[in-house]
Homo-oligomer: A and B are copies of this chain.
Amino acid sequence: MINKLVNKIKQTGAPIVVGLDPMLNYIPEHVQKKAFAEYGETLEGAAEAIWQFNKEIVDKTCDLIPAVKPQIAMYEQFGIPGLMAFKKTVDYCREKDLVVIGDIKRGDIGSTSAAYAVGHLGKVQVGSKTYAPFDEDFATVNPYLGSDGVNPFTEVCRQEKKGLFILVKTSNPSSGEFQDQLIDGRPLYELVGEKVAAWGADCMGDEYSYIGAVVGATYPEMGKVLRRIMPKAYILVPGYGAQGGQGKDLVHFFNEDGLGAIVNSSRGIIAAYKQDAYAQFGPENFGDASRAAVKAMIDDIGGALADR
């Protein structure tokens, strides 16, 4: 799957991923109204609004982008109906041949991580049958429990040719509280980065490893160091746009080959119609606004990479 991701990035010229993190207040009123008219102001109604919103954005952007990243929390908050919309979104994006990165940030002791791994990336056994319950292509994983919490995920990735992005340095303001603590003079995130490189060495695709890392756009200097520590790891970079990162800050997340990083934008794309720059589209054409925002993001990052 890392080979597919790399190939799709080369084909589209777009090292970007659209974060499908639909808060209800991002969804235009007419979409919400229609869903509530059918299902009421219920969890099912919210799930339907999310699904219709996602579908329009995917339809309007899928030819431009290699991948999407649905954030499962935004679905899970609406309970079972929300999770059904998550699954529907994953399935639809895969039908559209997009690479699906499940932003699930799971991680637990070995036997429990194994359950998450089969549920999200692999197949679960029921009697004599097997099923692929959520069937994302990649998943994000939290490393706090160490190797035996990560290994069950890498094992499933090897079997299924799928991949991971492991949290190394997250984009949020207080990520440094623990991640930046110095151990023998070096921050914890560097140690985690070294582990990611080691875990990934056994799971190589053609050019890059199946095992990637999450490093926030909001910490470009740290991205530069981590790029060197994990040369074969694809870096998933959240925090572009709404969280503050810009194309010029991101060049050091990429290798010299122009590959090695994929930049996520969520709100900046899916709620583009709410920004002044795209207001001319109006809420009715929110999908077209998202398409314009994707193009602007590709230009911003492509320009920054060309200028370096």
Contact = CB atoms under 8 A, between A and B. Distances in A.
B108 A41 contact: no
A80 interface: yes
A162 to B, nearest CB: 15
Q: Copy number in this complex?
A: 2
Nearest to A32: B127
Category for how many chain A residues contact B:
35 or more
Nearest to A144: B144
A144 B169 CA distance: 9
Interface of A: 21, 23-24, 32, 36, 41-43, 45-46, 71, 73-74, 76-80, 82-84, 87, 105-113, 115-116, 118-120, 124-129, 131, 133-134, 142-149, 167, 170-179, 181-184, 188, 191-192, 195, 238
A125 B24 contact: yes
A178 B191 contact: yes
22 contacts: A21-B112, A23-B111, A24-B126, A43-B131, A46-B126, A73-B116, A76-B116, A77-B133, A78-B119, A78-B126, A79-B134, A80-B87, A105-B142, A109-B238, A142-B142, A144-B167, A144-B170, A144-B178, A144-B179, A148-B173, A149-B172, A182-B183
Contacts of A131: 42-43, 78-79
